[in-house]
Amino acid sequence: MVTPTQSTHSVTTVGLETKISALSLSSIRAKKELLEVQKSTVKPTEELPTEAFTETQMLEFWFKYAQRLNDKGQMIMESLLRISDPKLEGTIIHYELPNEGSKIDFERAKPELLGYLRGHLHNHNITIEVTVNEKVRTKNAYTPQDRYNRLKEINPHLDLLRRTFDLDL
C-alpha cells in the first residue's frame, strides 16, 4: 500500500539521459524539474566567447574542416568547401556557390561547419551567408606559378618567405 507521502514514480538513468515514469502527478512534476535543470545548463549567448580572428585564420580552419570531411569520405561537401574562397566581413563569412543544388547541399551541412569554426576560432557570433553565382568558376591551380599565386592570395607573407630564402617556384 502506498501512503500519500511516498513517491510512486521511478527515475532511471540511461547514459546521459534520465527517464522518468509518467504514472503519477509527482512523476510529471519531477519530469518538469528535470527539464528545468537541463535548460539551466545551457550557456546564455552572452557568456559564449567572441574573440577576434583574421581572414587567414578563418581560411586555415575552413580548409582543415574540408580536409577532415575528405578523410571521412564526404567528398561532395569537401568539394563544395573548396569551390571558392570565403570572404570575411566582421564575423560574417560570405560564400559563393555555382548553383542552387550546391547551396542546398551546403545549407544541410552548414550547422556542423559553423560549430567547427565557432569552436576553433573561439567566436560564437560567426555566421555564414551563402549566395548563388552562376558565374563562379572553380579555381584550379595547374602550374607551379598558379599554385604559388593561389597560396599567396591566402597568405601574403609567403612572398616574403620566398624572397628571404631565395626560393624558386
Residue 84 is assigned to a structural domain of this protein: yes
Euclidean distance between CA atoms 166 and 33, whole angstroms: 68
Report the domain count for the chain: 2
Domain holding 103, by residue range, is 55-138
Q: Which residue has the higher pLDDT, 32 or 166?
A: 166
Residue 6 is assigned to a structural domain of this protein: no
Do residues 84 and 120 both lie within one domain?
Answer: yes
pLDDT at 155: 87
Do residues 24 and 59 both lie within one domain?
Answer: no
Of the chain, the end-to-end C-alpha distance in Å amounts to 87
Q: Which residue has the higher pLDDT, 129 or 13?
A: 129
% of the chain surpassing 90 pLDDT: 41
Tell me the average pLDDT of the chain. 81
Give the CATH number, domain containing residue 78: 3.30.300.180
Do residues 127 and 59 both lie within one domain?
Answer: yes
- pLDDT tens-digit series, residues 108-154: 999 999 999 999 999 999 999 999 987 755 556 678 888 888 888 88
Residue 168 is assigned to a structural domain of this protein: no
